[in-house]
Amino acid sequence: MTEAHDNPLEPYVRAALALQGYTFGDGEIAEIVMQFSRLEAIAQAVFDWPLPFASEPAPVFRP
């Protein structure tokens, strides 16, 4: 497993945790960095998907 300090997302995770009021030790942060990295990898598909400029979000979804 990649160490958290080798992960380019680690500074973001540390900053975002502080912003949200979390205080964790390095072991817990490493686990959260790993989980966030998985989300980030999945999120790439969302970013790469071509959408028309004006396409609307569906925050309140009513089929």
Partner 1 sequence: MTGSAADIVQQIAKGTRSAAAVLAECKALIEAKDPDLNCFTAKTFRRAEREAAVIDALYAEGKALPPLAGVPYAVKNLFDVEGMVTLAGAKINAGNAPAAADATIVARMRRAGAILVGALNMEELAYGFLTENHHYGTTRNPHDRTRGAGGSSGGSAAAVGAGMLPITLGSDTSGSIRVPASLCGVFGLKPTYGRLPRTGTYPFVNSFDHVGPFANSVLGLALAYDAMQGPDPADPACAQRAIEPAGVPLSLPRGIRVGILGGWFHQWADPAARRSVQLAAAALGATDWTELKSAEVARAAAYIITGAEGGALHRPRLLERYEDFGPASRSRLVAGGLIPATWVIQAQRVRRHAYREAMDLFEHFDLLIAAAAPAVAPNVGQETLLINGRSIPVKAGLGILTQPISCIGLPVCTVPVWPGEGDSPAERALPVGVQLIGAPWREGLCLAAARTLEQAGIAEVRLP
Residue 32: CB minimum distance to partner 1, A: 5
Long-range contacts of 54-58, Cβ-Cβ distance < 8 Å, separation of 24 or more: none
Among 25, 41, 30, 32, which Cα is nearest to 5's?
A: 30
Q: Work out whether 1 is an interface residue with partner 1 (CB under 8 A).
A: no
Residue matched to tokens 């502080």: 18
Residue 6: CB minimum distance to partner 1, A: 17
Residue numbers of the site for partner 1 (CB under 8 A)? 12-13, 16-17, 20-22, 24, 28, 31-32, 34-36, 38-39, 42-47, 49, 51, 55-63
